[in-house]
């Protein structure tokens, strides 16, 4: 009788393994998504298409990434839930085609390695969870910096690390949110102090700018920041002043635009901000559930989105990243996904 059950168990294992292997067949190919979704564009015809929807990512399988056989078997027997995005707030893609997604819902950072077909959840060195990983930025050698607004700290992830390590700053932070990097500096939005801090890449404070107020160069709970690669200009989401402010890389004020309201072009709840290679400015708004595109002077070029789950619809979009291939990545927080678009160059 014992031998019978041993044989039955082995047979059951092989049947389960076969079923799991079969479930891998036909996994999505990210490189094919643009052709598949060629009709989802903005503006709609007869206007000339400028933005195309490519893909949406909710879990590793959406990128063609599957866990190994024995990992799937262990997960099946243990009843473990599949790792997926819960409440993503930020996303970046490195030049090595590794996507990182900050996910306060998972209290971790997802690493989707699209070349090696591997997914990992990155936590802290001692195995502890993040508390509130909010924003991401890419530094030299594809190092990824993470801000945790609850731990009041910045962390560092390299593409071969299993854990996030603390990035020590020379002064204490007070609810850090948005972060941005150029080749020389790390900029941190120090939200509760209504200021921007500039550090060198060793964590030493270089300078700070901003104070609470509504004047030029002043802030009211700023949140996100973007460093424009070609010019090093800084774009800051000045959230409760309902505007975007522009500075040079030394913190000198250049310009501002935005206002509260419910019309297209208004910014009642601005969140993520980014620029493409042509200088167009993309701003997410969580109240409008939209992605709005402006020229550098703040003039509206294109409006995309409303609340929903279809391509180009959003539910509390938060973080945005644009790579050098004109791909636009949007952390669509309450839809538990990242949407990917492309800016169509003439």
For CA atoms 279, 40, 334, 113, give the dihedral sign: negative
- 8 A C-beta contact, residue 37 and residue 49: no
Q: pLDDT exceeding 90 applies to what percent of the chain? A: 79
Residue 285 bridge partners (DSSP): 270, 290
Domain membership of residue 274 (yes or no) is: yes
Instruction: Report long-range pairs for 165-171 (Cβ below 8 Å, ≥24 apart).
Output: 165/125, 167/203, 168/203, 169/197, 169/199, 169/203, 169/205, 170/199, 170/203, 170/204, 170/205, 171/197, 171/205
Return all residues near 58 (Cβ < 8 A) that are at least 6 apart: 84, 85, 336, 337
Reduced to 3 states (helix: H, G, I; strand: E, B; else coil), residue 236 is strand
Domain membership of residue 286 (yes or no) is: yes
Determine the pLDDT at residue 126. Answer: 85
Q: Mean pLDDT of all residues in the chain? A: 88
One-character DSSP codes across 160-198: T-SEEEEE--SS--SSEEEEEE-SSEEEEEEGGGTEEEE
Q: Quick: pLDDT tens for 84-118.
A: 999 999 999 999 999 999 999 999 999 999 999 99
The total number of structural domains that make up the chain? 1
Determine the pLDDT at residue 79. Answer: 41
Domain membership of residue 7 (yes or no) is: no
Q: Quick: pLDDT tens for 244-281.
A: 999 999 999 999 999 999 999 999 999 999 999 999 99
Domain membership of residue 22 (yes or no) is: no
Q: How confident is the model at residue 68 (pLDDT cuts 50, 70, 90)?
A: low
Domain membership of residue 189 (yes or no) is: yes
Domain membership of residue 162 (yes or no) is: yes
Q: How confident is the model at residue 35 (pLDDT cuts 50, 70, 90)?
A: very low
As to burial, measured by CB atoms within 10 angstroms (0-12 exposed, 13-18 middle, 19+ buried), residue 4 is exposed
Determine the pLDDT at residue 313. Answer: 97
**Closest-CA residue to 114 (of 264, 281, 265, 329):** 329
Determine the pLDDT at residue 20. Answer: 40
CATH number at residue 304: 2.120.10.30
Of residues 19 and 270, more confidence is placed in: 270
Domain membership of residue 10 (yes or no) is: no
Q: Quick: pLDDT tens for 162-203.
A: 999 999 999 999 999 999 999 899 999 999 999 999 999 999
- Token pair of 37 as six digits: 């979704």
Domain membership of residue 8 (yes or no) is: no
Quickly count: other Cβ atoms within 10 Å of residue 168's Cβ.
12
Reduced to 3 states (helix: H, G, I; strand: E, B; else coil), residue 128 is coil
Statement: residue 12 has pLDDT above 60: no
Residue-range definition of the domain harbouring residue 111: 29-343
Statement: residue 77 has pLDDT above 60: no
């Amino acid at each position: 009788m014992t031998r019978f059950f041993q044989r039955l168990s082995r047979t059951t294992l092989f049947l389960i393994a076969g079923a799991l292997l079969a479930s891998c067949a036909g996994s999505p190919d990210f490189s094919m998504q643009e052709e598949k979704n060629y009709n989802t564009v903005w503006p709609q015809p007869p206007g000339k298409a400028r933005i195309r929807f490519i893909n949406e990512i909710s879990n590793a399988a959406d990128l063609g990434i599957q866990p190994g056989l024995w990992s799937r078997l262990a997960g099946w027997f243990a009843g473990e839930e599949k790792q997926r995005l819960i409440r993503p707030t930020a996303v970046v893609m490195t030049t090595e085609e590794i996507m990182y997604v900050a996910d306060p819902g998972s209290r971790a950072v997802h690493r989707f390695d699209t070349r090696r077909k591997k997914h990992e959840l990155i936590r802290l060195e001692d195995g502890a969870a993040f508390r509130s990983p909010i924003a991401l930025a890419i530094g030299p050698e594809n190092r990824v910096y993470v801000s945790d607004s609850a731990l009041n700290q910045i962390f560092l992830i390299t593409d071969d690390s299993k854990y996030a390590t603390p990035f020590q700053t020379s002064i204490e932070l007070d609810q850090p949110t948005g972060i941005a990097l150029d080749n020389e500096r790390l900029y941190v939005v120090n939200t509760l102090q209504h200021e921007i801090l500039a550090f060198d890449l060793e964590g030493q404070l270089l300078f700070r700018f901003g104070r609470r107020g509504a004047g030029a160069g002043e802030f009211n709970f700023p949140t996100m920041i973007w460093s424009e690669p070609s010019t090093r200009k800084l774009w800051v989401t000045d959230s409760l002043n309902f505007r975007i402010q522009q500075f040079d890389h030394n913190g000198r004020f250049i310009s501002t635009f935005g206002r509260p309201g419910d019309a297209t072009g208004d910014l009642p709840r601005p969140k993520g901000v980014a620029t493409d290679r042509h200088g167009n400015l993309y701003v997410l708004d969580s109240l409008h559930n939209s992605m709005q595109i402006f020229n550098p002077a703040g003039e509206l070029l294109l409006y995309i989105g409303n609340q929903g789950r279809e391509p180009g619809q959003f539910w509390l979009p938060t973080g945005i990243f644009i790579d050098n291939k004109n791909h636009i990545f949007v952390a669509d927080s309450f839809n538990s996904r990242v949407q990917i678009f492309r800016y169509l160059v003439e």
